[in-house]
Structure formats: structure tokens, C-alpha cells
């Protein structure tokens, strides 16, 4: 008996979507799992069709109407790689409501609408996978939700934004100031023309929200996660790494420390979640201190396992596409959603407060948390 192919439709042919499509065009037979359905690409929705054709995407597969691609009945899986809030959220919700499995790399919609999208997937007995939303190409969310499911996870923390890690690394190695390394990061394509989401820690906030869902079984609100280090007066500092100065970096180096933007979520003894995304002073010779450039590193502490670490390429279209393709293969093999067997939860079921701990003073007046 022949096995029906898994028909895939891709929405968005930008940085990530283009790499996903390229994998189908160049090595489609290798994507088919030995224990699953063959996988075929049947459609691509992209607003800028002429640009997509110029990038080598076949015109025969293209449409500029993503809603029609979802409603056509021709797709067994929808892959959303367009990013942003709308219309991505509406399109993903429509596919899930129609019972169509969805794979996305969009950390914004997962973090901000995750509880509702999860409920839609469960209500319609379909699959929602988002491995590419955190950690790029690092296998991370699946192992936390499934391989570590027998553990009581107490803390998850990491470097989850390649742009800011590149900038802080350059500031420490070369003694340059924030504005100069930002311009360089933009010139090299590591930072967007509008870098707000990266440099103010908003991208990392979205990612720690997703990590907390899988680690602790609850959706927390992104706006509840602190992204400003406290100053010497106790007032909030500037968001993300925007207040980090060359003098701060030099002072940390003199103490054997380096600054890294660390996203942290802790399950406190009273059951509350502590969460923050702030520049943190870590030992220069520690695993976080040695995690340079655009690399990501995430550590998970649990009982009885202890500490498990994940490190690898966390940025770029190719890395994210690798995770998207892995999710598609998982669906072809008949596997379920990213959260595995975790029960459904409602957003806001847990209190959220800033992560408590020791701080170290910097010349700018900022008080940076101390990490290990």
C-alpha cells in the first residue's frame, strides 16, 4: 500500500523560509524519514513574489495569498516563517482552527499568543511545533519537554540572542563602545536596521517565556519579565544592553568578569516564577563567558539530572531552517506538538517577579546581577 505524502505549504520566503524552500528543492528525498510519510512542497505564499523568483524559488509554487494557501485543502502542514505579529498570528490560528498542523519559527507569536494557540491545537486535535523559536538550530525545546520530562526543572537560563552576544563580545575584546559595535553588527547583518527587539532584550524575553512554558508547565506574560538591570538607587536601568558602556565592560574585565545578556527563569520555593533578561556579570572563564559571538547557550537545572547544557548556532536563516525542517520530519513521523505530553495551562496562572541575587556595581552606575 502506498503512503500518502505529507504536503507542505510555506508562508514567508524571507531569511528562514528561503532556506527551508532551498532544502526541499536541493535535497527533498533526504528529508523523508524511513519511518514516516514522504514529504513534498506544494506551495509557497510570499508577498514579494518577484524577489522570491529572483532568489531561485519556482514561480509555479508561488502565491501572494497565504490565506488561500491555508484554505485550499492542498496542504497537510503549514510552515509559518514570515515573522512578526500580524498577519502571522491570524494565519497560524486559522490553520490550527482548521485542524492543520503548524510549524513556526516565530517566537513573538508563540510567546504572546502561545496559550491561545496551544488551546486551539488541542481543541482541534492537531499539532503545533515551534522548535525554531528558541536557540536556532540547537535541539532544545524537544529535549526539555520530552527527554527531561521525568525531572523537576528548577531553573533555565541562557544566552539566547546572537546579536547582543556578538556586540558584548566585541566590546570586551576590542574595547569599543556600544554605538560603534552596533553599527558594525548592522553592517554584517547580525543586527536589523531597527535593532530594538534585540538590544532591548525583547527577543530574549519572548524566548524565556517559551522556555518557561516547557520547563515549568505555565505560560507567563512577556510584559511581566524584567529586562532592565537595577541601578544603585534601585530604580530600573536602561533596557537590555542599551546602557552598557565601554567603561562598564573594562571594569568587569578587571575583576575577571564579562557581561552577557542572560535570560533566566527560576521556579522559586513558593511556586512563583522569577524571570528576567538582563546584562549579567559572569566569570570570563565560565561556559557563559566563553560563549562568544553569535553562539547561544542554554543551561537547564533539574532534579535528579543536575545541570544539562545546550550550545550551538542560535542565529541565522540556515540554523532556524534546520529546526523547522526537523519539526516537519517529526510530523511526518507522526509525532505530536512541541510540549509533548504536558497538560494544558492558562496564561497568568503563576506569579512572576524579578530574579533575586547579588549585584556588582559598574562605573556607569548600573548594578549588574552576578552569574556563575
Sign of CA dihedral 23, 24, 27, 28: positive
Q: Which residues pair with 102 in a beta bridge?
A: 78, 128
Is residue 311 classed as helix, strand or coil in its secondary structure? Answer: strand
Helices then strands, counting H and E runs in the chain, come out as: 13, 14
Q: Which residues contact 87 (CB under 8 A, 6 or more apart)?
A: 66
- Minimal CA–CA distance to 11: which of 75, 80, 57, 104? 80
In the sheet where 273-283 sits, what is the strand order?
306-313, 295-303, 152-159, 257-267, 273-283, 352-353
Count of CB atoms situated within 10 Å of the CB of 343: 7
Asked if residues 78 and 20 have their Cβ atoms less than 8 Å apart, the reply is no
Residues catalogued as catalytic: 207
Q: How far apart are CA 201 and CA 18, in angstroms?
A: 26
Question: What letter does residue 228 receive in the DSSP assignment?
Answer: S
Amino acid at each position: 500500500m502506498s503512503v500518502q505524502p505529507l504536503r507542505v505549504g510555506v508562508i514567508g520566503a524571507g531569511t528562514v523560509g528561503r532556506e527551508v524552500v532551498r532544502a526541499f528543492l536541493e535535497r527533498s528525498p533526504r528529508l523523508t524519514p524511513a519511518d514516516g510519510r514522504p514529504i513534498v512542497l506544494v506551495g509557497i505564499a510570499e508577498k514579494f513574489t518577484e524577489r522570491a523568483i529572483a532568489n531561485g524559488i519556482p514561480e509555479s509554487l508561488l502565491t501572494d495569498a497565504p490565506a488561500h494557501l491555508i484554505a485550499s485543502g492542498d496542504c497537510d502542514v503549514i510552515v509559518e516563517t514570515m515573522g512578526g505579529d500580524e498577519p502571522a498570528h491570524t494565519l497560524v490560528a486559522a490553520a490550527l482552527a482548521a485542524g492543520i498542523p503548524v510549524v513556526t519559527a516565530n517566537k513573538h507569536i508563540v510567546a504572546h499568543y502561545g496559550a491561545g494557540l496551544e488551546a486551539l491545537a488541542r481543541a482541534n486535535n492537531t499539532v503545533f511545533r515551534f522548535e525554531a523559536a528558541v536557540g536556532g538550530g540547537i535541539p532544545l525545546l524537544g529535549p526539555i519537554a520530552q527527554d527531561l520530562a521525568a525531572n523537576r526543572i528548577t531553573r533555565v537560563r541562557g544566552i539566547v540572542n546572537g546579536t547582543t552576544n556578538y556586540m558584548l563580545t566585541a566590546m570586551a575584546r576590542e574595547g569599543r563602545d556600544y554605538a560603534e559595535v552596533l553599527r558594525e553588527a548592522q553592517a554584517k547583518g547580525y543586527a536589523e536596521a531597527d535593532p530594538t527587539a534585540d538590544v532591548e532584550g525583547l527577543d530574549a524575553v519572548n524566548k524565556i517565556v517559551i522556555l518557561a512554558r516547557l520547563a515549568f508547565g505555565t505560560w507567563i506574560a512577556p510584559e511581566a519579565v524584567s529586562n532592565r538591570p537595577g541601578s544603585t538607587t534601585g530604580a530600573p536601568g536602561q533596557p537590555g544592553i542599551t546602557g552598557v558602556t565601554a567603561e562598564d565592560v573594562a571594569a568587569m574585565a578587571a575583576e575577571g568578569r564579562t557581561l552577557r545578556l542572560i535570560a533566566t527563569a527560576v521556579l522559586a520555593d513558593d511556586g512563583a516564577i522569577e524571570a528576567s533578561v538582563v546584562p549579567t556579570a559572569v566569570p570570563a572563564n565560565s561556559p557563559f563567558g566563553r560563549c562568544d559571538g553569535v553562539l547561544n547557550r542554554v543551561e537547564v537545572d533539574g532534579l535528579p539530572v543536575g545541570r544539562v547544557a545546550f550550545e550551538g548556532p542560535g542565529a541565522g536563516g540556515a540554523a532556524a531552517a534546520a529546526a523547522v525542517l526537523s519539526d516537519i520530519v517529526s510530523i511526518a513521523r507522526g509525532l505530536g506538538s512541541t510540549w509533548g505530553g504536558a497538560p494544558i495551562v492558562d496564561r497568568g496562572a503563576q506569579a512572576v517577579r524579578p530574579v533575586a541575587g547579588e549585584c556588582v556595581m559598574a562605573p556607569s552606575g548600573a548594578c549588574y546581577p552576578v552569574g556563575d
